[in-house]
Amino acid sequence: MLGWETDIHDALTAPAVARNRDAILAVLREVLPGSGTVLEIASGSGEHAVHVAAALPGLDWLPSDPEPAARRSIAAHARRAGLANLRPPLDLDAAAAPWPVTRVDGIVCINMIHIAPWAATEGLMAGAGRVLGEGGILFLYGPFREAGRPFAESNAAFDASLRGRDPAWGVRDLETVAAEAARHGLTLVRRVAMPANNLSVIFERRDR
């Protein structure tokens, strides 16, 4: 489990969360609806779910992860937080179809697509196209390559490290990700530069 530490109560901690959660939350405040249900894909430790659900009480936050250890961690953090708008975690693999949810108002996916095979991105876009209504938002966060922009040395080193762990992993080309999204009715509407050479990338579901 990349960058995770455990405690005796099943709750995992990811040190990166403390560094990026407030910057991510600031963007989510701007792009997510004020009410409705938001599905989080690959929730990992569950720390982002707790942080965002606490800050945005008008949203029902639906975390998910395919890994049992992650779902136990999400549940442990949720028990500690005691938030009425934080739902139990779903067993959801982004690459699989169908998903165990039929309609949501937004989808959030933080630091997944580069630590997974490309099939996960394909499944994410297909799933988002199925379950988001017109105007629904898909939010991605993480490192990307961008045509015409320098590839940060830290991201290049991270990409090499990821591919060394698994050749199917790696920092994705934003243009390729956007093209896959477009196949499923998702239009890239905003790009936000984030700390540590990451991006927040926002797609909107638009009927063809």
Per-residue pLDDT tens digits of the chain, which is 208 residues long: 344 344 446 888 888 888 899 999 999 999 999 999 999 999 999 999 999 999 999 999 999 999 999 999 999 999 999 999 999 999 999 999 999 999 999 999 999 999 999 999 999 999 999 999 999 999 999 999 999 899 999 999 999 999 999 999 999 999 999 999 999 999 999 999 999 999 999 999 998 6
Closest among 45, 78, 46, 39 to 61, alpha carbons compared:
39
Domain boundaries, the chain: 5-205
The pLDDT score that the predictor gives to residue 193 is 97
Nearest to 205 by CA among 187, 180, 191: 187
> What is the pLDDT at residue 8?
43
Side chain identity, residue 27: V
Q: 104-110 and 132-142 as β-strands: parallel, antiparallel, unpaired?
A: parallel
| DSSP β-bridge partners for residue 202 | 139, 190
> Residue 2: what pLDDT?
45
Interior angle at CA 117, CA 10 and CA 52, nearest 5: 45
pLDDT at 37: 98
What pLDDT sits at residue 151?
Answer: 94
Q: Tell me what pLDDT residue 99 has.
A: 97
Q: Using CA of residue 18, residue 119, residue 70, residue 33, what is the dihedral sign?
A: positive
pLDDT attached to residue 14: 83
- Residue 85 is given by DSSP the state T
Place of tokens 């499944």: 123
CATH pick for 5-205 out of 3.90.950.20, 3.40.50.150, 3.90.550.10, 3.30.465.10:
3.40.50.150
Whole-model pTM: value is 0.93
